Structure 1
Amino acid sequence: MVEGLPEWDRCAVMGVVNVTPDSFSDGGRWFDTTAAVKHGLDLVAQGADMVDVGGESTRPGATRVDEEEELRRVVPVVRGLASEGVTVSVDTMRASVAEQAVAAGARLVNDVSGGLADPDMVRVVAAAGAPFVVMHWRGFSENMNSRAVYGDIVAEVAAELRDRMDAVVDGGIAPERIVLDPGLGFAKAAEHDLALVAHLDELRALGRPLLVAASRKRFLGHVLAGDDGTPPPARERDAATAAVSAIAAHEGAWAVRVHEVRATADAVRVARAVEGAR
């Protein structure tokens, strides 16, 4: 369990609301506040346990949005969903956005940089007493692909996550409030992502709940590519995403983060039922 969040009896489902014009799979679809709030409520109706609201695309090659614009995009959506009783996560690398989102009702801060992008992030999250997702990260989207160099991907990601977790704890965030994320697709090639999914047990050995965010990512496109090597569009990878969700749930992941909720909500419930039948 994660202190400060509800406790579920199975792998939880985190639905994604991208309040951006340029996210890799659904940019622009929920850019308006009203549409974004409605989409978040729809995700809950489809089985999401949490909704992750982000205002900055982190797709490979993306450039950063400025702070004022990110705040404008994110805070009203967080407030709108929280006011409806939704458990809201804020997906941001900026301490100011995290701080204002928590004040607006967000209960979890999901920082893909694990606090590395903004030196104030850990202090702000610690002061707020919010749970914090520490993701494996090697740099901003503009050039992260050049950093996808590993000897032993699982051992190196585990070691880097452990170091970052220790730094976050030293910064004042309680260990019981930390979630770890292997960072699928971030400074990783397809073979790296697949190896991490295949060895989630080694990442669970770090002792904190795992968030697995495979939804519609490039490695799934690589797996599903046709004979000519062309991957299907991002929105045609939801069945593959649900397959990874079932694997992650079976391997004890705390939560999975997905764009299309219904199939994954079914997948994690089936995984739980199978475990219960052992």
Structure 2
Amino acid sequence: MSDFIDKCREDIPLIMGVVNVTPDSFSDGGAYLAADKAIEHGKLLLKEGADILDIGGESTRPNAETVSIEEEIERILPVIEGLAVHAPYISIDTRNAATMQAAIQVGANIVNDVSGLTHDPDAADIVAQSGLPVCIMHMQGNPKTMQNAPTYENVIDEIMAFFEERLEFCSRRNLGSKSIVLDPGIGFGKTLEYNLLIIKNINKFKVFNCPVLLGVSRKSFINSLCDEPNPAGRIFGSISAALYGLENGVDIFRVHDVKETKQAFTVHRAIASAL
């Protein structure tokens, strides 16, 4: 899948559309829990311009309860099977090695692990054996505890150190940097101030020569700034943050609102390239 990493390095960033097959995700929990609804939604996101579909069966919102691996697999398998023939890239959003393996067998061709391959000791081997790209995300704590007063001495330096350690770990496990995407994990163990600093300094993570993924879509930091408790009402804030990322070298954007993000990027690119 080196073609995926090569595609990430092109001038036009990739858009990863979110398909939550969960009852409790923060933005659309329950809307796509039924497989047919999730497949329909995934097809819509592709029509709107998504390059990647990110399919997950376990919510990782703050205070989320864990689900059994069996239930997670039961949720995501029919959705991946239903979308694999339509999507060039399907990412499995999971921390669990067994779920990764099951998803890969039915068509997933990217692994997206919010724990950065720290949660399951078998995860790195599954990814290495598959030869697929993996998204390594930074998170302080775990989904249930991550927003309990997260603190850093220097949030950028600590995320950089985490990425450096993870890249060394991956190298030892036969996962070269040419198959790794880095995600600083907006909202995962971060306060408003930390989130803003990460976005402002997003280009610093390019030093590792890996594609950088940014997930700001509908996140609660927008509510903190704009007093918008309804996640669906945070589209404009999401796009504003994404445009900053676009101007600062982000390669992949994980979004709920594909059509709106694609339109904003198209107009921005047209203005920037006007002669």
2:158 to 156, 159, 171: 156
The corresponding residue for 1:185 is 187
| Conservation of the 8 A alpha-carbon contact between 1:138 and 1:147 | no
Structure 2 unmatched ranges of 5 or more: none
How far apart, CA to CA, are the structure 2 residues paired with 1:117 and 1:260?
A: 29
| Conservation of the 8 A alpha-carbon contact between 1:212 and 1:248 | yes
Deviation at 1:99, TM superposition (A): 1.0
Deviation at 1:9, TM superposition (A): 3.8
Q: Deviations over 1:158-215 (max 9, x none)?
A: 1112211221222111211100000000010011001000001111122211000011
The corresponding residue for 1:254 is 251
How far apart, CA to CA, are the structure 2 residues paired with 1:191 and 1:239?
A: 19
Q: Deviations over 1:12-55 (max 9, x none)?
A: 11000000000011000001111101100100111111110000
Q: For structure 1, which segment, 181-190 or 266-275, has the greater mean C-alpha deviation from structure 2 after superposition? A: 266-275
Deviation at 1:4, TM superposition (A): 4.2
- Which AA in structure 2 matches 1:174? G
The corresponding residue for 2:2 is 3
Deviation at 1:10, TM superposition (A): 0.6
| Conservation of the 8 A alpha-carbon contact between 1:243 and 1:267 | no
Q: How high is the TM-score relative to the length of structure 2?
A: 0.94
Deviation at 1:76, TM superposition (A): 1.2
How far apart, CA to CA, are the structure 2 residues paired with 1:273 and 1:131?
A: 31
Q: For structure 1, which segment, 107-116 or 236-245, has the greater mean C-alpha deviation from structure 2 after superposition? A: 236-245
Identity %: 37
Q: How high is the TM-score relative to the length of structure 1?
A: 0.93
How far apart, CA to CA, are the structure 1 residues paired with 2:28 and 2:173?
A: 35
1:272 to 259, 269, 274: 269
Q: How many residues align?
A: 272
- Which AA in structure 2 matches 1:3? S
Q: Deviations over 1:208-257 (max 9, x none)?
A: 110000111111111112xxxxx431110011111111111111111100
Q: Deviations over 1:128-171 (max 9, x none)?
A: 00100000122221111236111111111111122112212221
| Conservation of the 8 A alpha-carbon contact between 2:46 and 2:87 | no
| Conservation of the 8 A alpha-carbon contact between 2:53 and 2:87 | no
Seen in structure 2, the aligned counterparts of structure 1 residues 219 and 85 have a Cα distance that, compared at 3 Å, is closer
| Conservation of the 8 A alpha-carbon contact between 1:212 and 1:256 | yes
- Which AA in structure 1 matches 2:174? G
| Conservation of the 8 A alpha-carbon contact between 2:51 and 2:87 | no
Moved >4 Å (runs of 4+): none
Q: For structure 1, which segment, 215-224 or 180-189, has the greater mean C-alpha deviation from structure 2 after superposition? A: 215-224
What value does the CA root-mean-square deviation take over the aligned residues? 1.5
How far apart, CA to CA, are the structure 1 residues paired with 2:47 and 2:220?
A: 28
How far apart, CA to CA, are the structure 2 residues paired with 1:274 and 1:160?
A: 36
The corresponding residue for 1:111 is 113
How far apart, CA to CA, are the structure 2 residues paired with 1:233 and 1:166?
A: 40
